[in-house]
Structure 1
């Protein structure tokens, strides 16, 4: 696991990980404390990740995560259009013993709950908004594949597509209460260029 900072309190000159980039940003702002992530997103998923800059903030935000007081909303482009257009997927997720990097819906797995809403639908794909009640590894990808609508570009879960070189999953909004002021915070992340291009093609009816 890559370190967030070296022994002298200096962040790496060329950040190789998100943790290192967060440490560099703190140092640039005059704060040498290592940043600590509160949640994670999958590799090749875009969007905001929440970090704490000190132990007390981490304790407050970790407690908020346990109490499900931090809201995470995602947008995904999926194969086909889910029907009904709104729903709740309440299916436990566990490891796939046949594939070490995959997860699967499994009766013996951990409880996992995902809510979805179709925002736009086209001939062979849809843009879906998703919210998490739990935070299992690959949860959105596993759940959408389980109901027959894998994410575009997600070869690991049956959604491989020439339209995108990664899973079409983006963290759209992050909501939390500021650990010091108690103010409600909402971070909205614009879609990255590759997903904008993908949606433009789908809206234009291009395969």
Structure 2
């Protein structure tokens, strides 16, 4: 069999995936054309299909990469901060900064890539909807942990509280894409955390 047989890897798959991620992040799933993707990745369409299977599978891998890298701000804050309040606040502030990082697309890839899709791309919309729901669950899990550890009152409605802060977090992404500055977003994060004492019940005075 000749040396030219088979499918040699003529490109760095990881680097190509990272470049594709940035196209999807900037353009969204449907608007990212095959020409834009392959141009950014430095490959031809047959190589894209050989390496990733399909545009949708490429997108799924890009979303997973985003979650492990650029989109990992919230997970780190929830994991590293010592109280639920500090964790939520750090997540909001950290994302306000990440969403306005010079040289990166503005906003969150998971929030902005596909809120609506043509019927044939419903699986993509569902993927991102599930990711957003998972983010809200992670906020609730961290607040529930705060209840267990005693820094959040036991009678707190953790479901509603998590939904509120998830809505703020997703809204920051939309505002960033619409041109809000970092200071604008940090002001929103500050206002949202100032609401904590209103939303979280005070311990009963006995």
**Could you tell me the TM-score, scaled by structure 2's length?**
0.28
Q: Which structure shows the bigger proportion of residues in strand conformation?
A: 1
Asked which structure has the greater RCO (Cα within 8 Å, sep 6+), the reply is 2
Q: Which structure shows the bigger proportion of residues in helix conformation?
A: 2
**Could you tell me the TM-score, scaled by structure 1's length?**
0.28
User: Which has the higher Rg, Structure 1 or Structure 2?
Assistant: 2
